[in-house]
Amino acid sequence: MDKVVACGTCGLVQEVDGEVPLGAVVKCARCNFQIFHRRVDSGSRTLAFSLAAGILYFPSNLYPIVTAEYQGQSVQTTIFQGISSLWHDGQYFIGGLVFCTSLFTPALKILGLIFITLTLNWPRFKKTRAWIYKIIRIIDPWNMLEVFLLAICVSMVEMGEVATVHPGRGVFSFAAVVVLTLCGTLTFDSRLLWDSAAERKKYE
Amino acid sequence: MSDQSHSLPRAKIQKDALSLFFWALPVAAAIMCGWFLLHDFVLAGPSITIYFKDAQGLQVQNSMVKYRGVEIGTVESLELAHHGQDVAVRASLHRSAADVARQGSIFWIVRPELKVGAISGLQTIVSGSYVAVQPGAGGPTNVFNGSTEEPPPPIPGISITLLSDDLGAIEPQSDILYRGLKVGSVLNYRLDDNARYIVVNARIMQEYAPLVRVDSEFWNAGGINAHLGLFSGLNITAESAQTLVAGGLAFATPEKYGAPATNGAVFFINNKEDKTWDDWNPIIPLNTQPESKKTKNEWPQLNAQ
């Protein structure tokens, strides 16, 4: 085992003295976060998370997000219908933003993570994997915009007497996709990107 | 050391339970999707097509199909069919109500209606029109011809045909009165094939069916009868407030009555009541049954699926 470890959080390179005893964890000298040589089982966990997210991506977009009942009429809206109605209303900026954050970036992120984790052991595509990971890190904050979508839903529910809003199947799948993709990037250890197959064996 | 280790038992190397837990996530996601698909395609009710002449008031995804006031389906699409002669209304039914999709079922559109003597479909002013159904008794089918108006509820009784020179104030659902009591109602009317009479189809409730005899006399009881006599003065008669506005028919049966009228019996409608009919006071036993055995209507039972 290597003595020198870098903290994944603050980047401080430090030395680990002696063997780590059973039941103990290694904490960073500067930021006190747990440090690993490599995250445990990182590749396969990330693959599991992103596969689950990829499966749920379909119901989240095909099923209605909300069912609004207004004076005896019920209106069901999927994400895509919401985007197209924004677009037709002339709200091109908001429509485009919602399209990017709700449809485009989650798909990109899920596909990217699946590609990276599946091809980790390949000697080829090393550069490509690094590029994809960079893109994922760039689009990651934008995925958080779904929180605002949920806020809009809540404000609709608050109308109470006038209209009743039921969450559809889509919104649960959607929430699951958001959480799963988040977990997917969190569990992924970026150091795996440059590890060769032999190096990975060493850290297992 | 290494020599000795061969004689020792071999340690098991197995997958960490925690990492198996992570792989349960995609499995759970797949099961969830499978459940959605099962719900939508396997457990979904049938999809039916109803042809209407006019589908005014129906909206895709919003309009409901209702039976006994309960939503049993949704209108999925509206499009022209038969070269623009009809509107094809495609609706998906709930599984619990799949059994209304059978031959003889009558579909019609409920809209707000304001007629003399009757206001109906008031709730549809705010909720929008919906498709209502009266299930038939035939075999399963998926294509129906919609009715333009609400069919009369299947009240047990006999159907009779009345011929009149003049329609007068008769309307569908006009009352048929015996001694001023409602014993039946008019279903519909039309001009006969040679345009000589108005043919009125009416239904007498089962309970009162024996009152109609082959020699019964019918007359138009709608409106006001005014009679100005030299000695009797002005004499105004009207059967009831309801017939005054909505029109109606009355009948009387002579004391020495004939055979009971059967389904499809034909009578002429007199324009005025004859004075002597007023004095008829026949004794006719009615088809009275205990209240509990009386069937309110005969809509067929639906088989649960």
In contact, B93 and B76? CB cutoff 8 Å:
no
Torsion from C-alpha of B289, B290, B296, B301, nearest 10 degrees: -100
Residue A47: the pLDDT is: 92
Closest approach of A97 to chain B, Cα-based (Å):
27
SS3 B82: coil
Closest-CA residue to A72 (of B29, B122, B209): B122
Inspect the interface and report whether the beta carbons of B32 and A59 lie closer than 8 Å: yes
Share of chain B above pLDDT 70, in %: 82
Q: Which of A103-112, A168-177, B14-23, B112-121 shows the highest mean pLDDT?
A: A103-112
Is the model's pLDDT at A2 over the cut of 70? no
pLDDT digits (tens, 9 = 90+) for B56-67: 888 887 788 888
Residue B303: the pLDDT is: 67
Residue B1: the pLDDT is: 47
Taking only residues 17 to 36 of chain A, the set having a beta carbon closer than 8 angstroms to any beta carbon of chain B reads none
Burial B143-166 (b: 16+ CB within 10 A, else e): ebebbeebeeeebebbebebebee
Is the model's pLDDT at B128 over the cut of 90? no
Torsion from C-alpha of B117, B119, B120, B122, nearest 10 degrees: -170
B186-189 contact pairs (CB < 8 A, 24+): B186/B249, B187/B152, B187/B159
Range scoring the smallest mean pLDDT among A124-138, B19-33, B290-304: B290-304
Which amino acid, residue A188?
A: F
Inspect the interface and report whether the beta carbons of A56 and B22 lie closer than 8 Å: no
H-helix or E-strand containing A117?
helix A105-118
Q: Taking CB atoms and an 8 Å cutoff, what residues of chain B touch A71? A: 126-127
At residue B292 the predicted structure's pLDDT band, cuts being 50, 70 and 90, is very low
In contact, A150 and A73? CB cutoff 8 Å:
no
Closest-CA residue to A178 (of A153, A148, A147, A134): A147
Q: Taking CB atoms and an 8 Å cutoff, what residues of chain A touch B123? A: 72
Q: What ipTM was reported for this prediction?
A: 0.76
Inspect the interface and report whether the beta carbons of B26 and A51 lie closer than 8 Å: yes
Is the model's pLDDT at B296 over the cut of 70? no
- Sign (positive/negative) of CA torsion A126, A42, A100, A64? positive
B36 touches chain A (CB under 8 A): yes
Q: How far apart are CA A47 and CA A115, in angstroms?
A: 9
How long is chain A? 204
Mean pLDDT of A20-42: 82
pLDDT digits (tens, 9 = 90+) for B153-191: 667 788 888 888 888 778 777 888 888 888 888 888 888
Q: How far apart are CA B221 and CA B15, in angstroms?
A: 92
Residue B188: the pLDDT is: 83
Domain positions in chain A = 1-37, 41-203
Q: How far apart are CA B138 and CA B276, in angstroms?
A: 48
pLDDT digits (tens, 9 = 90+) for A64-117: 877 777 666 667 778 888 888 888 888 888 888 888 888 888 899 999 999 999
Residue A94: the pLDDT is: 81
What does pLDDT average to over chain B?
Answer: 80
Residue A58 phi, psi dihedral angles, 5° rounding: -70, -55
Cα B22 to chain center, whole Å? 56
pLDDT digits (tens, 9 = 90+) for A117-174: 998 888 888 889 999 999 998 888 777 666 566 566 556 555 556 666 677 788 888 8
In contact, B205 and B157? CB cutoff 8 Å:
yes
